[in-house]
Amino acid sequence: MQNGSDKQKTASFFDPIQRVIRSFGLPRIIIILFLLSLWVAAAFLSIPFPALLSDTFIRLGMNTVLTLSMLPAILVGTGLFFGLPLGIICGLLGGVMSIELNLKGLTAFFAAIGFSIPLATLVGYGYGLLLNKVKGSEMTVGTYVGFAFVSLMSFGWVTLPFKNPEMAWAIGKGIRVTVSLEGRFSNVLNKLWAFEVYGIRFPTGAIVFLGFLCFLMWLFLRTRTGLSLQECGMNPKFAKASGIDVDRMRIVGTIMSTILGAIGILAYAQGFGFLQLYEAPMYMGFIAAAAILIGGATLKTAKISHVLIGTFLFQGILVVALPVANTVATLGSLAEISRIIVSNGIILYALAQKGGNE
Amino acid sequence: MKEAEKRTKGFAYKARRLLTNNAVSILFVVIGVLGLRVSGLSLPFFFEDIVNRLARNSFMVLSLIIPVMAGLGLNFAIVLGAMAGQAAIIVVTHWKLGGIGGILLSTMLAFPLAVLLGIMTGRLLNRARGKEMITTLILGFFSNGIYQLVFLLLVGSVIPMKNDVLVLSSGVGLRTSIDLTGGLKNGLDDLLRVPFPLCAVLVGVILLLVTVIRLFVKKETHPKSRLIGWGVLGLALLGWGAFHVYTRSMFNFVRVPVSTFLIVLGLCYFITFFTRTKLGQDMRTVGQDRHIAEVAGIDSDRVRIIAMVMSTVLASMGQIIFLQNLGTFSTYGSHEQAGMFAIAALLIGGASVAKATIGQALLGTLLFHTMFIVSPLAGRTLFGDAQLGEFFRAFVAYGIIGLSLALHSWKKQMQAREEARKSE
- Residue A194: half-sphere exposure toward Cβ, Cα within 13 Å: 17
Q: Where are the beta strands (DSSP E) in A91-149?
A: none
Tell the burial category of A78 from Cβ atoms under 10 Å away from its Cβ (0-12, 13-18, 19+).
buried
Give the pairing of strands B255-257 and A195-197: unpaired
User: Residue A141 is nearest to which of B148, B405, B412, comparing CB atoms?
Assistant: B405
* CB-based contact A136 B133, cutoff 8 Å: no
Nearest to A31 by CA among A307, A268, A296, A356: A296
- If you ran DSSP here, which 8-state letter would residue B194 be given? E
- Count how many Cα atoms sit within 13 Å of the Cα of residue A277 in the half-sphere of its side chain: 24
Q: Please tell me the distance from the alpha carbon of residue B127 to that of residue A92, in angstroms, as a whole number.
A: 38
One-character DSSP codes across B261-327: HHHHHHHHHHHHHHHHSHHHHHHHHHHH-HHHHHHTT--HHHHHHHHHHHHHHHHHHHHHHHHHHH-
A321 close to A38: Cβ distance less than 8 angstroms: yes
The pLDDT of residue B376 is above 70:
yes
Q: What is the DSSP secondary-structure string of B319-368? A: HHHHHHHH-EEETTTTTTTHHHHHHHHHHHTT--SS---HHHHHHHHHHH
Minimal Cβ distance to A348: which of B130, B142, B392: B142
CA B209, B211, B213, B215 torsion: positive or negative? negative
- For B147, name the nearest residue in chain A, comparing CA atoms only: A337
Crossing angle of helices A49-68/A246-272, nearest 10°?
150
Residue from the list B141, B398, B409 with its beta carbon closest to the beta carbon of A151: B398
Subunit contact A348:B137, Cβ cutoff 8 A? no
Q: Which of B120, B11, B64 is nearest to B340 (CA)?
A: B64
Q: Out of A2, A148, A356, whose CB is closest to B398?
A: A148
Instruction: Give the per-residue pLDDT at A357.
Output: 40
- Beta bridge partners of residue B255, listed in sequence order: B195
Cβ-contact B311, B63 below 8 angstroms: yes
Nearest to A209 by CA among A183, A236, A191: A191
More confident residue, B244 or B281: B281
Q: Do B135 and A358 touch (CB under 8 A)?
A: no
Cα–Cα distance, A229 to A248 (Å, whole number): 9
- The CA distance from A85 to A68, in Å, is 14
Q: Is A144 in contact with B135 (Cβ distance < 8 A)?
A: no
Hey, is B102 helix, strand or coil? helix
Find, among B324, B179, B195, B167, the residue nearest to B256 by Cα: B195
Contact residues, chain A, for B139 at CB < 8 Å: 344, 348
Rounded Cα gap, residues B86 and B148, in angstroms: 12
- Considering only the beta carbons, identify the residue of A133, A140, A347 that sits closest to B133: A140
Q: How far off is chain A from B142, nearest CA to CA, in Å?
A: 5
Residue A356: per-residue pLDDT: 43
Q: What backbone phi and psi angles, to 5 degrees, belong to B221? A: -125, -5
Q: Cβ distance A121 to A255 under 8 Å?
A: yes
Mark yes or no for CB contact A351/B128 under 8 Å: yes
Q: Which residues pair with A179 in a beta bridge?
A: A275
Contact A341 B139 (CB under 8 A): no
pLDDT digits (tens, 9 = 90+) for B218-269: 776 666 777 788 888 888 888 888 888 888 777 778 888 889 999 999 999 9
Amino acid found at A55 = D
**Cβ count near B11 (within 10 Å):** 10
Query: Is the ipTM value over 0.85, yes or no?
Result: no
In the predicted structure, residue A4 carries a pLDDT above the cut 50: no
How far apart, in whole angstroms, are the C-alpha atoms of residue B141 and residue B337?
10
What whole-number distance in Å separates Cα of residue A328 and Cα of residue A41?
9
Instruction: Tell me the residue length of chain B.
Output: 424
Instruction: Decide if B402 and A354 are in contact by the 8 Å CB cutoff.
Output: no
- Say yes or no for a CB contact (<8 Å) between A344 and B142: yes
Rounded to the nearest angstrom, the minimum Cα separation between A12 and chain B is 22
Cα torsion for B224, B226, B230, B236, to the nearest 10°?
100
Residue in chain A closest to B397 (alpha carbons) equals A148
Q: Is the pLDDT of residue A123 over 70?
A: yes
CA of B137: which chain A residue's CA is closest?
A140
Residues of B in contact with A7 (CB under 8 A): none
Q: What pLDDT is recorded for position A172?
A: 67
Q: At B291, which amino acid appears?
A: H
pLDDT tens-digit readout, B123-155: 999 888 888 888 999 999 999 999 988 888 888
Is B409 or A252 the better-scoring residue by pLDDT? A252
The CA distance from A220 to the nearest CA of chain B, in Å, is: 30
pLDDT tens-place string over residues B289-329: 888 888 888 888 899 999 999 999 999 999 999 999 988 88
Contacts of A187 (CB under 8 A, 6+ apart): A270, A271, A273
Sort out which chain B residues have CB atoms less than 8 A from A144's CB and list them: 398-399, 401-402, 405
